[in-house]
Amino acid sequence: MLSVLDRGIQEKNDLLMKIRNQWLWIIFLMIVVNNLSAQSDLQRPNILWISVEDIGPLLEAYGDKSIKTPNIDRLAKEGITFTNAFSTAGVCAPSRSSIITGMYPASIGAHNMRTGPHYAYREPEAETYKTYHELKDIRGRNVPEYATVPPPYVKVFTEYLRAAGYYTSNAAKTDYQFNSPITAWDEIGKEAHYKNRSKDQPFFAVFNHEITHESRVFMKKNDPMLADKQNIRIPDYFPDLPVVRQDVGRVYSNIIELDQQVGKLLDELKAAGLLEKTIIFFWSDHGGPLLRQKRAVGNSGLRVPLIVRMPNGMQAGSKVDDIVSLMDLAPTVLSLAGIKPPDYMQAKAFLGPYKAKIPRQYAFGSADRFDEAVDMSRSVLDGQFVYIRNFRPELPLIYRNKYREQIDMTSTLIEMDQQGQLTGDAAYIFMKTKQEEELYDTKIDPYEIHNLANDPAHQTKLIELRVALSNWQLDVRDLGFIPEYDLVNMMWPGMIQPATDLVAFKKEQGKLLLTCSTDGASIAYQVDSEIGGKRWRLYHQPLLPGSYKRIAARAVRIGFKTSLISYFE
């Protein structure tokens, strides 16, 4: 028999062996996980955005049978349809500012439409601004062209993709309320394409389709009509007149053309052998292009189609009723690429490993200056109810706007209103003043024409959404209360665009560090024969100085003037 001492030694040895085996098992698991992670890096998904303009859910996938859209329907049948997706604004530039940053427009000073000529990328040397823009703020002061300046920690989310090895291309719209930084895209312009990437490099590609934009309603009015005007859905807030059927028909006709363009993109992906290696997003930047749709802060202006097709039939044909904000696209793309979204983002991932654990309870929207018309409204939507707070109730709901009055039905309805010829639901949207609060139940009132704000039966819901909106405005520090002239002066002190400082080079421990003293600046660089070209690499880690003979670098912070070029020999 073993002595007490011997038994103690044996038990100790057994414990040490057990611990040793556990550590060996842990090390083995770590090796396996690392190998799987490396394989995952090699097999990162391609991601493609089909970005479209100015359409609400006027698709069969969302229950509208006015027209046939076989290619978009195919995406819905093979993908995930999000039934409660909402933009942050009912117009393109503020909405797109939220998409590229993952931040609410009203929280970063991007809420007024439009701040400058940012709809297309301009080379840094071409980034100039008019000091007299024929626009006035709420106090009647001149508002110059400008670029929004978000807090220094805010980045365009494509920089995170580029740092992770993705090839990013944008064909070709930006419209971010600031000039697209040179660090945002590998390639931007009408010819930008994922085909131009390096072999086996994962890509994030954006193709923007303007065929459904508001302007195409009047620009294409003499084109052949592809939709059956007698079979289309006319919203209750429009009188059923020939001119209305003509322009609503044009909206549907343009969607048919859009569907054809979507089909070509899908065919191109399939021919390249990429269809089952690519995650496809289909979305519109905000709701429809007509009165009480575009620029509106309710369901008609904010609800959008959003379809995501995963490779190889994953979740094919499924529907998700969770509330999704369109700005959630940014962290969702990062999540699907295996990149943890930055904590500062107000947006939440709705797919991928970093999907938010708790879905949104509400979507929030904003409406402020639209071209020459100054207003301010905020909204909160829960998928059924819409609550709107009007901060300038003395103004009419339908204000004068030169751009949209190029649409025939718009000018006709304005004239009819002035002659007192509109009645019923059509007259409702031409209210001469607004109530401070609006509440609509879209389940029984899809066109938002029966305000329930003063209905005693709906006071509980009214108070719930009123409080939710107030809390949100405090949380995001809503900048809509600052007159635009003063807001510009805060972002551009003295009304002069701030400039990004030069890039500095520093050798440290055998590596070359590129730095910029401007808080929040990103750095781009070119090497050797690339210098002088349009494409800039994103600096995200130290360089090996012996790898290149010459390096050119410049820095840019969002909304700032891009720095001059620094060189390192």
Catalytic residues: 92
Number of neighbouring beta carbons within 10 Å of residue 493? 10
- Candidates 306, 284, 234, 238; CA nearest to 89 is 284
Contact 255, 58 (CB under 8 A): yes
Residue whose token pair is 């994030």 = 204
Strand partners, 377: 367, 390
| C-beta neighbour count of 319 within 10 angstroms | 12
Displacement of CA 430 from its chain's centroid (Å): 30
Distance CA 375, CA 539 (A): 41
| DSSP-assigned states of every residue in 142-204 | B---------TT---THHHHHHTT-EEEEESB--SSSPPPTTS-SEESTT--GGGSPTT--EE
- Separation of alpha carbons 112 and 371, rounded Å: 8
Cα 406 to chain centroid, rounded? 27
172 prior amide bond cis, ω within 30: yes
SS3 340: coil
Q: Which two tokens stand for residue 295?
A: 């620029």
Tokens describing residue 22: 């556990």
Distance CA 232, CA 237 (A): 15
Please give the backbone phi and psi of residue 206, each rounded to the nearest 5 degrees, phi first: -115, 130
Q: Among candidates 115, 103, 13, which has minimal Cα distance to 328?
A: 103
Continuous segment of H or E residues that includes residue 247: helix 242-271
Residues 109, 149 contacting (CB under 8 angstroms): yes
**Residue type at 453 in one-letter notation:** A
Euclidean distance between CA atoms 547 and 62, whole angstroms: 54
Look-up of token digits 């509109």: 422
Bridge-based pairing of strands 511-516 and 522-527 is unpaired
Helices (H), 345-458: 408-418, 424-428
Per-residue burial over 150-184, b = 16 or more CB atoms within 10 Å of its CB, e = otherwise: beeebbbbbbbbbebebbbbbbbbbbbbbbbbbbb
Q: Are 106 and 366 in contact (CB under 8 A)?
A: yes
Strand pairing partners for 505?
Answer: 514
